[in-house]
Amino acid sequence: MIVIIASRHDAVASALLQRWKSHNVRLLTAEDLSTTGWRYFPHDVYSSTAVIGGQEVAAQEISGVLTRLSGVPQQELGHIIAADRAYVAVEMTAFLLAWLTSFSGPVLNRPTPTCLSGPGWRREQWTYAAARVGIPISPVERREYFGRHQAVKESAANIVTITVVGKRCIGEGHTTLAQQAQRLAATAGTNLLSVDFSSSKPGALFVSANPFPNLADDEVAHAILKYFQEERDYATPVCSQHALA
């Protein structure tokens, strides 16, 4: 069973459930986290029990987890009294952090103390990481509007996105960009990452990165499903780059 951790309002997650309905995929929401049936043993996670889609599931039945939340938002807790929602959201996030950290199966992405799906880095931190692994970078410009900071973004017409899924790369860019995206994903400790470049040519500048890529893209969704299937079957990951030379 593949588990998607997401908001119940997440249209992309709902679409993935339909796309993968023949592959035993279920959605885990904030409501599940407050449903009776959870049993968690930190040193024996496979003896634990989760509640997914309102039903109890033995942890050993879970073959992989796709996380679509950086943390549990208060807005998802309409079933909790208003005065307690902030506290409950923090506690649920902490529990998911522990549960996902203990889970030894494949997780996209592995949680960190600041984010349930990879590093919760700002654009400046991604830019710094890109520079450290040898990717040419563009300056990060921020403007202040009445005390609020806003990053100045590149024109969308110029952006080329390479998405890393395990050892695969999806995107219409030079092979060099795929290799750079993989290096950045490795240094960030992520197996799922979209990386934006200023063009499709070698020498293109790094613009930004996001551990929550566009899963509405058919190739990206297919690569994620293959990633879980290969991990389940103990197959050796194959580097299948779709980036154009």
**What digits encode the pLDDT tens for the residues 73-85?**
999 999 999 999 9
What whole-number distance in Å separates Cα of residue 58 and Cα of residue 224?
23
Residue 217's nearest CA partner among 154, 158, 162 is: 162
List the Cα angle 201/240/190 in 5-degree steps. 80
pTM: 0.86
For residues 149 and 7, which has the higher predicted lDDT (pLDDT)? 7
Alpha helices in the chain (DSSP H): 11-19, 30-33, 85-102, 123-132, 175-188, 218-232
φ/ψ of 197, rounded to 5, equals -120, 160
Task: Tell me the CATH number of domain 2-108, given options 3.40.50, 3.30.870, 3.20.20, 3.30.70.
Answer: 3.40.50
Share the mean pLDDT of the chain. Answer: 89
What is the residue whose two structure tokens read 């592995």?
A: 110
Which conformational region is residue 53 in: left (phi greater than 0), alpha (psi within -120 to 50 degrees), or beta?
A: left
Q: List residues bridging with 145 in a β-sheet.
A: 148
pLDDT value, residue 239: 37
> Which pLDDT score, from 0 to 100, does residue 47 have?
85
**Spatial contact of 171 and 214, defined as CB atoms under 8 Å apart:** no
d(CA 165, CA 155): 25
191, 164 contact by CB (below 8 A): yes
Distance of alpha carbon 56 from its chain centroid, rounded?
Answer: 24
Range list for CATH 3.40.50 in the chain: 2-108
How far apart, in Å, are the Cα atoms of 193 and each of 22, 29, 42, 93, 119?
A: 26, 22, 28, 21, 11
Query: Hey, what are 122's tokens?
Result: 């700002």
Amino acid (one-letter) located at 27: L
pLDDT digits (tens, 9 = 90+) for 180-203: 999 999 999 999 999 999 999 999
Check whether 113 has a pLDDT greater than 90: yes
Q: Are 103 and 47 in contact (CB under 8 A)?
A: no
Q: Is the pLDDT of residue 38 over 90?
A: yes
pLDDT of residue 132: 96
- Can you read off the two tokens belonging to residue 120? 């919760």
Q: What is the CATH number of domain 123-232?
A: 3.30.470.20
pLDDT class of 140 with cuts at 50, 70, 90 = confident
- Residue type, position 181, single letter: A
Token code pair at residue 170: 């999806």
Residues forming CATH 3.30.470.20 domain(s) in the chain: 123-232
